[in-house]
């Protein structure tokens, strides 16, 4: 999926666009987004000065030219068939979001900066999706965000472009993560259609958490035996709890495309239900500070606990049934907070 491209624009210069972009970037990174920030629509830039080495390399046919330093790099290039924005978006296709400072003529979505003492009236150019301002009396049909509220600005960008159930600017369908739990394309296949493990090395280490539940139904007599310690193989729930923890830690080995993770915490809970049909409800919560989520770990833990209960009790009840294993909640990562709707 191509990156989302937004332009931060204003009617005049020296309004503070660079400062706003500088302040909102850390807030956007909290969502796990990979963000590129570009200065847009310049006529020339220092590394493109005629006669300089980088200019000569580009003119000689290099697809990308630039400079490197001990701490970073600067790249530029030419694509005569595309605008600079289009060429940059293609080069940065692994980025989630490109914010370009400037270029009012672009057809891409725009966020306009309005300053009371410099440009008090908004331009509201084509495809303007929000206005940032220090005016307290500005009422518009689109969101108006306080100039110093960088958290709200980041929330708006994330919710408008990455979480809403609508088409993105490239015309691709996005899923609504609040209703489906999914807001990105399937990524476990390479360009040849073969399965792969997703590369998460570029993601930041963030706090992740997932909670999953499931149940195993059984005869009332079986549940009674479990609760009074009458199963010959031992304390069923204690063994099932250990099985859940072990399965969580082994998920990267059991599920082919799951990553081996250094899980920081596992909590397992059991809730016996004596009404017919009798059952034990199982919950597993997994926590981690890392680069990928722990949904699979929580689901695997529930599954292992249920299977262990079946194994220890099958001698007295082969009709037990494992049901309804599902994710209840996840926190952290690019898709943010997901909570399953209870019906």
Across the range 143-171, mean pLDDT stands at 76
Domain assignment of residue 172, yes or no: no
The model's pLDDT over 320-335, given as tens digits with 9 standing for 90+, comes to 999 999 999 988 876 6
**The token pair that represents 45 in the structure block:** 């830039």
157 is in which domain, residue-wise? 4-163
CA distance 122 to 133: 9
Indicate if 265 and 332 belong to the same structural domain.
yes
> What pLDDT, in 10s, does the model give residues 4-35?
889 999 999 899 998 998 999 989 888 888 88
pLDDT-derived band at 69, boundaries 50, 70, 90: low
Q: Which two tokens stand for residue 268?
A: 């397992």
In terms of domains, do 33 and 153 share one?
A: yes
73 and 124 share one domain: yes
Residue 215 and residue 127 in one domain? no
**Same domain flag for 17 and 159:** yes
Q: How far, in Å, CA of 235 to CA of 221, rounded?
A: 16
Domain boundary among 135, 163, 191: 163
Shared domain for 116 and 42, answered yes or no, is yes
Q: Cα torsion at 211, 217, 220, 221 (round to 10°)?
A: -100
User: Residue 240, Cβ neighbours under 10 Å: how many?
Assistant: 25
Indicate whether 186 belongs to any domain.
no
pLDDT in tens, 293-304: 899 999 999 999
Single pTM value for the model: 0.47
Could you tell me if 284 and 212 are in contact, meaning their C-beta atoms sit under 8 angstroms apart?
Answer: yes
Please identify, among 111, 129, 163, the residue that sits at the C-terminal boundary of a domain.
Answer: 163
What pLDDT score was predicted for residue 181?
44
Q: How many helices (H) and strands (E) does the chain have?
A: 8, 13
Residues belonging to the active site: 311
Counted residue by residue, the chain has a size of 343
Q: Alpha-carbon Rg of the chain, whole angstroms?
A: 27
Classify residue 194: in a domain, yes or no.
Answer: no
Residue that is written with structure tokens 């590369």 in the block = 199
Alpha helices in the chain (DSSP H): 17-29, 53-59, 84-91, 150-158, 220-227, 236-249, 251-254, 295-313
Write down the residue that tokens 């600079």 correspond to: 84
Percent above pLDDT 70 for the chain = 72
Q: Are 37 and 126 in a shared domain?
A: yes
Measure the CA dihedral 132/133/137/141, to 10°: -20
The residue among 163, 190, 225 that closes a domain is 163
Q: How many domains does the chain have?
A: 2
DSSP code for 263 = -
Question: Residue 79 falls within a domain, yes or no?
Answer: yes
What dihedral do alpha carbons 124, 6, 48, 18 form, nearest 10°?
Answer: 70
Same domain, residue pair 34 and 159: yes
Question: Does residue 46 register a pLDDT over 50?
Answer: yes
For residue range 256-276, list pLDDT tens digits in order: 888 888 899 999 999 999 988
DSSP category for residue 189: B
Domain with 221 in it: what CATH number?
Answer: 3.30.70.640
Do residues 132 and 10 share a domain? yes
Query: Is 270 within the bounds of a domain?
Result: yes
Does residue 297 sit within a domain? yes
Helix (H, G, I), strand (E, B) or coil at 225: helix
Name the more confident of 275 and 143: 143
Joined together, the tokens standing for residue 123 give 């331009």
C-alpha to C-alpha distance for 337 and 3, rounded to whole angstroms: 22
Q: Is residue 240 located within the same domain as residue 332? A: yes
Largest CA distance in the chain: 88
Domain with residue 127: its CATH number is 3.40.50.300
């Amino acid at each position: 999926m191509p990156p989302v491209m937004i332009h931060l624009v204003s009617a005049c210069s020296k309004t503070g666009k660079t400062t706003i972009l500088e302040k909102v970037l850390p807030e956007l990174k909290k969502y796990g987004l990979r963000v590129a920030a570009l200065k847009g629509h310049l006529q020339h830039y220092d590394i493109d000065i005629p006669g300089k080495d980088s200019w000569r390399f580009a003119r000689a046919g290099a697809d990308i030219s630039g400079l490197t330093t001990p701490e970073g790099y600067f790249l530029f290039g030419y694509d005569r068939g595309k605008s600079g924005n289009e060429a940059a978006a293609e080069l940065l296709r692994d980025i989630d979001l490109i914010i370009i400072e400037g270029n009012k003529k672009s057809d891409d979505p725009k966020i306009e900066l309005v300053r009371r003492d410099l440009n008090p009236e908004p331009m509201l150019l084509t495809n303007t999706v929000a206005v940032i301002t220090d005016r307290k009396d500005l009422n518009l049909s689109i969101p108006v965000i306080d100039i110093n509220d960088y958290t709200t600005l980041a929330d708006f960008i994330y919710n408008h472009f990455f979480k809403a159930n609508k088409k993105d600017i490239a015309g691709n369908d996005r899923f609504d993560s609040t209703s489906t739990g999914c807001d990105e394309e399937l990524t476990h296949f390479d360009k040849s259609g073969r399965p792969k493990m997703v590369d998460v090395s570029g993601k930041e280490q963030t706090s992740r958490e997932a909670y999953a539940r499931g149940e195993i139904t059984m005869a009332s007599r079986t549940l009674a035996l479990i609760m009074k310690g009458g199963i010959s193989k031992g304390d069923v729930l204690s063994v099932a709890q250990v099985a859940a923890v072990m399965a969580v830690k082994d998920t990267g080995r059991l599920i082919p495309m799951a990553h081996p993770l250094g899980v920081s915490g596992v909590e397992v809970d059991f809730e016996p239900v004596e009404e017919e049909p009798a059952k034990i409800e199982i919950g597993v919560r997994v926590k981690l500070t890392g680069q990928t989520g722990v949904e699979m770990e929580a689901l695997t833990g529930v599954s292992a606990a249920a299977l262990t209960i079946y194994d220890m009790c099958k001698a007295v009840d082969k009709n037990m049934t494992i049901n309804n294993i599902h994710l209840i909640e996840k926190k952290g990562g690019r898709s943010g907070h997901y909570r399953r709707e209870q019906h």
